Structure 1
Amino acid sequence: MRIRVLSGPLMACLLLAAGCGGGGGGTSATPSTAQQGFPYTVHNCGVTTTYRRPPARAVTMNQHTTEIMLALGLRESMVGTAYMDDAILPEYASAYGSVKVLAEHYPSQEVLLSAEPDFVYGGFSSAFDQSKGLGRDALAKDGINTYLNVENCAAGPVTTATDDEEITTIGRIFGVPARAKALTARMDATVAAVRARLAGVRPVKVSVYDSGTRSAFTAGGAGIGNNMIEQAGGVNVFADLNKSFGDVSFEQVAQRAPDVIVIYDYGDTTLASKKAFLLSNPALKDVPAVKNKRLVVLPLTSTVLGVRVPAAIQTLAQGLHPEAFR
């Protein structure tokens, strides 16, 4: 993890077919852009954009943005995707299979522009690399609107409410607010069910291990990972780290003595290797999580703002409080 616009009459015809020669004496069942909630102005990570109609040629960069789009039923609005960390969720596999994969990681400027997107949705700041001509300002000059997942620029702690806001905003941008409302309601219901199971439990001390051999790259208190731990009946021992992620020494991990270590599974380092490293690390030999081999695994895509967060909270809660789920 250490880690041109189509416009004018053609676009109007694509989006508002009834206004381009449809029958019925000038009437149509297709809502106008005003009825869909346009124009709609979004302030996103320092960039302000006014949408007068839904994007029609979107490219998603990073898996969690791709799955949000597919969960909202927006496959027909996508012309490309890039950078997957995990297998696509089974319920979106068919739709995802019909979207062109532009690159294994991030596409070059040339490849991205060849898809003729009118909207690029990035999951991480690295999606908009200025040095590669993919900065948001540069894309705007090519007539391409952009949106960055708000976990990258949130002013305060990121929570499941922030996740709802992310999905709600994307739903508004694409003119499908009702779909977004239904999706967030289902997600909120999953979290509420978990919280009900955990009523009265004693919080468990938790540390996240993302990666690292000389130091531990861990989840701090500012990202969704911290809130997920709280919602799952835990306490993040590095919640005082005032950022989403940061490095801490293994001696610090030992001092804070987590009862459970959550491993983020992704990348070239295998899960088996990460487990073996933690369990054999001399600095961690007296840590309760290591002594009792209490390791919970989450795929990376489940630990960032997206549709997987509620299910990940449930998985985490089951690992922290198995007795509550028997």
Structure 2
Amino acid sequence: MSFRMSLSATAFIFGTLFTGVAFAEPVTVRSCNRDVTFDKAPEHAVSNDVNLTEMMLALKLQDRMVGYTGVSGWKTLDEKLRNGIKELPELSPKYPTKEVLLGANADFYFGGWNYGMKVGGEVTPETLAPFGIKVYELTESCIFVMQKNKPTMDDMFVDLLNLGRIFRVEDRAEALVAGYRRQLGDIESKISHVDKPTRVFVYDSGEEKPFTSGRYGIPTAMIEAAGGTNIMDDVAKSWTEVSWEPVIEKNPEVIVIVDYGEVTAAQKIAFLKNNPAFKHIDAVKNDRFVVLPYVEATPGPRNIEAIATLAKAFHPEAM
């Protein structure tokens, strides 16, 4: 009897050890043009910008974070995000330095190109690697370091699923993405009869020259999912400055206003409506403006709500 008990105990111990080893197995994810391996889930993570921080919150990773960066220097936290991060400190109002991340004992940085990192800048995957800080790059931003296809909403889903793998919360990430896919499917079914997509211009900022989203920005994917087309789809950039001439020439039916910073959405709309150069643009003539907060117009969990808002503005008869 004791021999049988010993066998059972041995089997239990080996089973437990095997489970522990399986859980601790390294995880490798693709980040832009790099493979990044994580021997264990990060414990001192930092995210940059409101949208990337919301991805972390959507996966309930606050307890793995030591702070965030890149918000108050340009934007403000709305109530939803403020409640989510609670006591987490903002480590830097704009892009972090290496010293900021080292001072926080960070072991993981979730940023992107022009979302907390600049090509050739102080904070990059290469500059942080010697300090043991692993970097995962926002997929939308990969166009700055590699060739990639035009974005779809899968770009945001890939980021959530990769974060789920990195932090060993795959089930949580898969459930979240499945819910988003269902919501998108509902929107697509409602606008499936639409024959001609709505012409759309994204107005971020700028008066002499507008700052907008081109082919590789996530608004292109959002607009297309909502039954529209980005009139700047022929501009091979993610976010960039253009001239007003092609905007006037392409005559958008709807203008999406990105709301953040010192210039309010109302002021941006007033500028467009009061400038004689724009009086023949259909969107201006028909007062068809849609306001999206910055956190909805950049890759993140609120994109799905924003797509529903856009679809209702583009095709109100269907929604």
The TM-score range, normalised by the shorter chain, is 0.7 to 0.9
Letter in 1 for 2:158: E
Deviation at 1:131, TM superposition (A): 7.3
Letter in 2 for 1:264: V
1:80 counterpart = 2:78: no
Deviation at 1:134, TM superposition (A): 2.1
Instruction: List runs of 5+ in structure 1 lacking aligned partners.
Output: 1-23
Deviation at 1:60, TM superposition (A): 0.7
Residues in 1 aligned to 2:132 and 2:31: alpha-carbon distance in whole angstroms: 17
Letter in 1 for 2:165: R
Contact 2:48-2:115 within 8 A present in 1 as well:
no
Aligned match of 1:302: 296
Contact 1:220-1:240 within 8 A present in 2 as well:
yes
Partner of 1:80, secondary structure, is: strand
1:110 counterpart = 2:103: no
1:34 counterpart = 2:22: yes
Greater shift, 92-101 or 251-260, is seen at 92-101
RMSD between superposed Cα atoms in Å: 2.3
Please point out which of 191, 213, 227 is paired with 2:207: 213
Contact 1:64-1:301 within 8 A present in 2 as well:
yes
TM-score (norm 1): 0.85
Deviation at 1:127, TM superposition (A): 1.4
Letter in 2 for 1:45: C
Contact 1:251-1:284 within 8 A present in 2 as well:
no
Deviation at 1:104, TM superposition (A): 2.0
Identify if the C-alpha distance between structure 1 residues 282 and 30 changes in structure 2 by more than 3 Å, giving closer, same or farther.
farther
1:177 counterpart = 2:166: no
Identify if the C-alpha distance between structure 1 residues 99 and 33 changes in structure 2 by more than 3 Å, giving closer, same or farther.
farther
Deviation at 1:251, TM superposition (A): 2.1
**CA deviation digits over 1:43-95, x for unaligned, max 9?**
323433211111111011111111111111111100111122353462x5434
Instruction: List runs of 5+ in structure 2 lacking aligned partners.
Output: 1-11
Letter in 1 for 2:204: D
Structure-to-structure mapping, 1:10-89, within 5 angstroms: 32=20, 34-35=22-23, 38-84=25-71, 85-88=75-78
Deviation at 1:179, TM superposition (A): 0.6
Structure-to-structure mapping, 1:1-326, within 5 angstroms: 32=20, 34-35=22-23, 38-84=25-71, 85-88=75-78, 90=80, 93-129=82-118, 133-154=122-143, 155-201=148-194, 202-325=196-319
Residues in 2 aligned to 1:309 and 1:150: alpha-carbon distance in whole angstroms: 15
Contact 1:117-1:144 within 8 A present in 2 as well:
yes
Partner of 2:109, secondary structure, is: strand
Identify if the C-alpha distance between structure 1 residues 264 and 44 changes in structure 2 by more than 3 Å, giving closer, same or farther.
same
Letter in 2 for 1:187: Y
Residues in 1 aligned to 2:241 and 2:134: alpha-carbon distance in whole angstroms: 34
Deviation at 1:146, TM superposition (A): 0.9
Identity of aligned residues (%): 38
Contact 1:124-1:149 within 8 A present in 2 as well:
yes
Aligned length: 300
TM-score (norm 2): 0.87
Residues in 2 aligned to 1:123 and 1:32: alpha-carbon distance in whole angstroms: 33
